[in-house]
Amino acid sequence: MTIKVGGRIPESTLGLMGDDGPTTVGTNELFAGRKVVLFAVPGAFTPTCSARHLPGFVDQADNILAQGVDTIACMSVNDVFVMNAWGKSAGADRIAMLADGNGEFTRALGLEFDATAWGMGQRSQRFALIAEDGVVTELFVESPGEFRVSSAEHVLTRL
């Protein structure tokens, strides 16, 4: 079942690159007592994700954080090395680049989709959410092929 506004973020573990190499962060740790904007993309280095989605959050990071957001996080069903390289290439130093390598968190949210027809396996739908203390307060899931409601600019209007 897909997470909804008012739903609690499910417990899971995500990968990220630390100072000493790959590490993990639990969703409870990431979301508890904090206001978090999480956006997810079907794949790092893919066209819309690289040309518009991540760059929008890089460009709007100061404005988003100024609205009382503690963390901006980008997630994809990719490994921690890919997410780290993508973040570096995009100048995403103010965004936590989270790897959901096996798609477990994505499935727990109910936001997965089958991209095997394009050689990409199971992936995340394109979405963004705002959560406060681990509870979803806003959820923006894109229709297939769309990029509107999960953009940084749209999310900013809802903070």
Residues noted as catalytic: 49
Distance of CA 99 to CAs 4, 25, 86, 142, 159, Å? 22, 10, 11, 20, 25
CB 16 within 8 A of CB 98: yes
Tokens of 47: 């066209």
Question: Distance (Å, rounded) from C-alpha 158 to C-alpha 10?
Answer: 22
Tokens of 123: 């992936």
